[in-house]
């Protein structure tokens, strides 16, 4: 009798616990239905990145080396002052079509040098970059360091499309009807810049691309703001995954091999079982 009594008590306690949880769940669902959460200013004013067509898109995509060289020039002349590219070595630029002599020249003339510690003097010095060196880190004199761009298209949702939209989105204004609902959000703090593609709408980085022909392309391509943003986005896809094209080629070869092997296996199956009765 005692054991039956205790089992009954445990059952009632468990049932009561489940009942309380169900009541709490029902209350939460009812609350969400009756009073849905209010839309925040960031949710209302934030824009989804615009689609960006690049040669590297898709499972069969491959790099456009001409575009990558243009994108590198934009990075060098516009972005490199504040943003590092520390996961890439100068010699990796050979994959973009640069010769050994050109890579050596680019490394030597790079504005930021390699830090060197003199053990005898106990002080830091500098030396010219070598092709084997990684791009030196940038130490910004302001509050904090801007992010390294080596993996930015992997670290941000929508990758290259996000970078392109962010670079070209400084002049875009939200729908006036939507903006009128959130007047406080439209007051850009001092030292910040409104950009609807940035997560919290205000970004410390001023517009890096301010006018057409800010960079002069060697191949004669017109350097509009949109073109420069597109080219540097393509370049940053390459820095994030330099082996993307080789991976695509290897994947295609594997698929073709598997299809061929499947055909051989099916042919062998028909040959072995031909004439056999079940």
Q: How many domains does the chain have?
A: 2
* 174, part of any domain: yes
Q: Identify whether 121 is part of a domain.
A: no
Percent share of the chain, pLDDT over 70: 90
- Asked whether residue 82 is marked as a ligand-binding residue, the answer is yes
Is residue 199 assigned to a domain? yes
CA triple 143-144-146, angle to 5 deg? 120
Q: Please tell me the distance from the alpha carbon of residue 135 to that of residue 143, in angstroms, as a whole number.
A: 22
Q: Do residues 52 and 30 share a domain?
A: no
Separation between Cα atoms, residue 46 and residue 198, nearest integer Å: 7
The distance in angstroms from the start CA to the end CA of the chain is 64
Average pLDDT (142-161) is: 89
> 226 with 53: CB under 8 angstroms?
no
User: Are 18 and 74 in a shared domain?
Assistant: no
Question: What token pair was written down for 252?
Answer: 């295609």
Residue 232 and residue 158 share a domain? yes
Mean pLDDT of 230-249: 94
Low-confidence winner among 4-13, 55-64, 118-127, 253-262 (lowest mean pLDDT): 4-13
Full domain range(s) for residue 176: 48-88+134-242
The reply to whether 87 sits in an annotated binding site is no
Residue 46, marked binder: no
- Residue 80 resides in a domain: yes
Could you tell me if 79 and 150 lie in one domain? yes
* C-alpha span between 42 and 19 (Å, rounded): 38
Which tens digits make up the pLDDT trace of 41-80?
Answer: 777 788 999 999 999 999 889 999 999 999 999 999 999 9
> 170 and 60: one domain?
yes
Binding site annotation covers 193? no
33 & 62 share domain: no
Residue 194 within a domain? yes
The CATH code of the domain that includes 54 is: 1.10.760.10
Q: Which two tokens stand for residue 208?
A: 């890096």
Helix (H, G, I), strand (E, B) or coil at 27: helix
């Amino acid at each position: 009798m005692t054991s039956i009594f205790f089992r009954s008590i445990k059952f009632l306690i468990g049932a009561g616990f489940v009942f309380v949880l169900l009541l709490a769940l029902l209350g939460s669902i009812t609350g969400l239905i009756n009073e849905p959460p209010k839309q925040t200013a960031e949710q209302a004013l934030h824009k989804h990145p615009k689609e960006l067509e690049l040669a590297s898109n898709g499972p069969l995509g491959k790099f456009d080396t001409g575009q990558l060289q243009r994108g590198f020039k934009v990075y060098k002349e516009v972005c490199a002052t504040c943003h590092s590219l520390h996961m890439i070595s100068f010699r990796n630029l050979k994959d973009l079509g640069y010769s050994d002599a050109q890579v050596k020249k680019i490394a030597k003339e790079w504005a930021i040098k390699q830090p060197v510690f003199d053990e005898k003097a106990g002080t830091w010095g500098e030396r010219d970059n070598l092709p084997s060196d990684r791009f030196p880190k940038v130490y910004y004199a302001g509050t904090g360091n801007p992010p390294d761009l080596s993996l930015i298209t992997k670290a941000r949702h929508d990758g290259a499309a996000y970078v392109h939209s962010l670079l070209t989105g400084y002049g875009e204004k939200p729908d006036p009807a939507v903006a009128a609902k959130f007047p406080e959000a439209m007051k850009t703090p001092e030292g910040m810049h409104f950009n609807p593609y940035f997560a919290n709408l205000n970004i410390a980085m001023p517009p890096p691309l301010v006018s057409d022909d800010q960079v002069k392309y060697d191949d004669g391509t017109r350097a509009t703001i949109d073109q420069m943003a597109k080219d540097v986005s393509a370049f940053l896809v390459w820095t994030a995954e330099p082996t993307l094209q080789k991976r695509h080629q290897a994947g295609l070869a594997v698929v073709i091999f598997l299809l061929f092997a499947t055909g051989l296996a099916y042919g062998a199956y028909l040959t072995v079982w031909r004439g056999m009765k079940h």
